[in-house]
Structure 1
Amino acid sequence: MKEKAAELAVVSNKSFEASTAVNLHHYDISSALQTTLEFNELISIFCNKIQVTIPHNSLEYVNPEFDLAFKRGIIGRHSCSYSLKVEDQQLGELKLTRSQRFGKEELKMLESLLCCLIYPLRNATLFHQALQMAYTDPLTQTHNRTAFNDTLMREMKRANRCEQHLSLIFVDIDHFKWINDEHGHDCGDLALASVAGWVKDSVRGSDIVFRYGGEEFVILLIDTNQEAAAIIAERVRLGIESHTIAYGMAVLNITASLGISTLTGNDTMDSLIKRADSAMYKAKSLGRNRVCLG
């Protein structure tokens, strides 16, 4: 049976200030936690700082809002769990384990020290929520062009460093101008949002979907060669083709043209993008609703 997490909430700055004044150890932890806004780093710093006071063999931090599940160490028989929140804002759950039972005084001390962690976690939450908003296209709920540029640069460096494959798929909705002209921009928006959902349903969990602009999407395929990218692209194409949109009295069959490029040793961001874009236009010129390699 899963052990229910204790709930630790800080409801005011006064209670936080009172808890941090217990001893100098709190100040040491609080100072260290001001150095980062990354959840995993915050949890690691906190657990390293309390290791002498509250020895533990493993930690687990889960934050569903950001799809985080961070684990470290060897799981022990006994555990203590805390669901962290401040002013009704959920900040995730922290679980510590070890081979011996946690004593009452240790748990009391841990709960006091956890108050040092709550506000840094809230700051990290606000920071990452702002990033999500800045990197998300509001209509399609995919990542936007800014996010694509930043992510592609990072993943190209990683792929070259680790000698791994990296592929792009450009997806362009066929006859999108006709949809807007014939049925209006509300219908066009419905088509964009629908296609985005169908694309996300067709790709793997590790693939990242971006709205590149207008009616064009890009899928970033990490550690994926051209052959595997072609299989995924065909699955995406079929996924779009197999759906219809009902708008007013009209039923619309939507298709898309797709182009693929795979990272080579000489590629820049521009050259990798240009090859995928050119392959997509080749698919258009060959009759649309198909996949072409670049």
Structure 2
Amino acid sequence: MKEKAAGLAVVSNKTFEASTAVNLHHYDISSALQTTLEFNELIGIFCNKIQHTIPHNGVEYYNEEFDLAFKRGVMARHSCSYALKVEEQQLGELKLTRSNRFSKEELKMLESLLCCLIYPLRNATLFQQALKMAFTDPLTKANNRTAFNDTLLREIKRAHRGGQHLSLIFVDVDNFKSINDDYGHGCGDLALASLAAWLKDSVRGSDAVFRYGGEEFVILLGDTDIDGATLIAERIRADIESHTIAYGMDVLNLTASLGIATLKGSDSADSLIKRADAAMYEAKRQGRNRVEISY
């Protein structure tokens, strides 16, 4: 009786050794990438781990969702770029550069090793998205009060340490109660969301907009003295006044009262906030749609 041949795979020593080395390399990279949820650290660890296998002079990583741009080393003539994603979730773009071309074998190896990076990047993305939601006001998409408190303390320490200016602008919608009373809370919500968008468009990229509570917003201006803050506040006030909101068959014009305070040597976070808030209420008392300064 004829016996069936067993299904055997023949593997050469060379192939087996190479496969074992690649698997160990994958394991080493994957283990190292489990130590952080920060994008910059993940990219740094990954590039350090592959440097011996795929030498490169520079690395760039861009993540549009989190407005992140990470660069390290010297950008060179030749490059390879990869748009990273998993299950339709965008994870950013990675580019390696060096002075000579990447070989087909190196690119094939790099594409294999990138598998180690994908899921740590996804975990970092989910973590950062959760943080973003925790610090974002759901209606206006501005930063919320918790984010403001944390950021202000950090920026005050930085300003004192570096001898820099720091200014606050408090912004309060004029006659907001009448908008809710006359047109309903849906219109009030639209007004707040619109105002937040206008504020973001009016400030510099380095400035941060927060919803402080109700119809009140605060803008944090790093490295900005009282004169610079006044110019920005006047521009914001004028921008708000020039916009209109269409709600149903009605067209609404908004104005806002603004108060400014710049950090003094004796200021705490609470005293700085109180001075800016008091200046804003003084703008209300002086007739609204104006800027007042706390010296």
Give the structure-2-normalised TM-score.
Answer: 0.90
Structure 2 counterpart of 1:216, one-letter code: E
Query: Equivalent pairs: percent with the same residue?
Result: 79
- Once the two structures are TM-superposed, the CA of residue 112 in structure 1 deviates from its matched residue by 1.6
Q: Which runs of 5+ in 2 are unaligned?
A: 1-18
Which residue in the other structure is 2:207 paired with? Answer: 207
Return 230-239 or 147-156, whichever deviates more.
147-156
1:231 Cα shift? 0.3
Distance 1:49 1:92, change over 3 A: same
Give the superposition deviation at 1:220: 0.7
One-letter amino acid of the structure 2 residue matched with residue 203 of structure 1 = V
**Does the alignment pair 1:287 with 2:293?**
no
Q: Which moved more, 1:224-233 or 1:262-271?
A: 262-271
Other structure's SS at 1:52 match? coil
Q: Matched residues in 1 for 2:69 and 2:267: separation?
A: 34
State the TM-score, normalized to the length of structure 1.
Answer: 0.90
SS of aligned partner of 2:54: coil
Question: Partner residue of 2:37?
Answer: 37
Give the letter for the 1:145 counterpart.
R
| Match status 1:185 vs 2:185 | yes
**1:229 and 2:229 matched:** yes
Give 2:108's aligned residue: 108
Q: CA deviation at 1:185?
A: 0.9
Please report how far the alpha carbon of residue 20 of structure 1 lies from its aligned counterpart in structure 2 after TM superposition.
Answer: 10
Amino acid at match of 1:121: L
Rounded Cα–Cα distance in structure 2 between residues aligned with 1:190 and 1:104: 55
> Any idea what the Cα deviations from partners look like across 1:190-239, whole Å, max 9, x if unmatched?
11111111111211111111110000000111111111000000000000
State the one-letter code of the partner of 2:146.
T
Matches within 5 A, 1:1-294: 22-294=22-294
Output the CA distance in 2 between the equivalents of 1:244 and 1:129: 32
Q: 2:28 and 2:225 mapped to 1: Cα distance?
A: 48
Partner secondary structure for residue 42 of structure 2: helix
Unaligned 5+ segments in structure 1 are 1-18
Instruction: State the distance in 2 between where 1:171 and 1:285 align.
Output: 14
SS of the counterpart of 2:172?
Answer: strand
SS of equivalent to 1:245? strand
The answer to whether the Cα contact below 8 Å between 1:20 and 1:116 also exists between their aligned partners in 2 is no
Q: Which residue of 1 aligns with 2:10?
A: none
Show CA shifts across 1:246-282 (max 9, x none). Answer: 3234332211000011112222111111110011011
Task: State the superposition RMSD in angstroms.
Answer: 1.5
Q: Show structure 1 runs of 4+ deviating over 3 A.
A: 19-22
Q: Deviations over 1:86-129 (max 9, x none)?
A: 11211111100101111122222211211111111000000111
CA contact (8 A) 1:192 1:215 kept: yes
Alpha-carbon distance between aligned partners in 2 of 1:140 and 1:274, rounded to the nearest angstrom? 24
1:21 Cα deviation from its structure 2 partner: 8.8
Q: What SS class does the counterpart of residue 76 from structure 1 fall into?
A: coil
Letter in 1 for 2:85: K
Q: Do the aligned partners of residues 198 and 23 (structure 1) sit closer, same or farther apart at CA in structure 2, a change above 3 Å counting?
A: same
CA distance in 2, matches of 1:68, 1:144: 21
How far, CA to CA, are the matches of 1:199 and 1:104 in structure 2? 50
Match of 2:167, SS state, is strand
* Alignment partners' CA distance in 1, 2:29 and 2:153: 35
Q: Aligned residues, how many?
A: 276
CA distance in 1, matches of 2:188, 2:116: 49
Residue 73 (structure 1) shift = 1.3
**Is the contact between residue 166 and residue 221 of structure 1 (CA under 8 Å) also seen in structure 2?**
yes
- SS where residue 72 of structure 1 aligns? strand
**CA distance in 2 between partners of 1:244 and 1:84 (Å):** 41
Work out the CA distance in 2 between the residues paired with 1:21 and 1:177.
69
What is the match of residue 9 of structure 2? none
| Aligned counterparts of 1:42 and 1:154: Cα–Cα separation in 2 | 24
Q: Distance in 2 between matches of 1:73 and 1:55?
A: 12
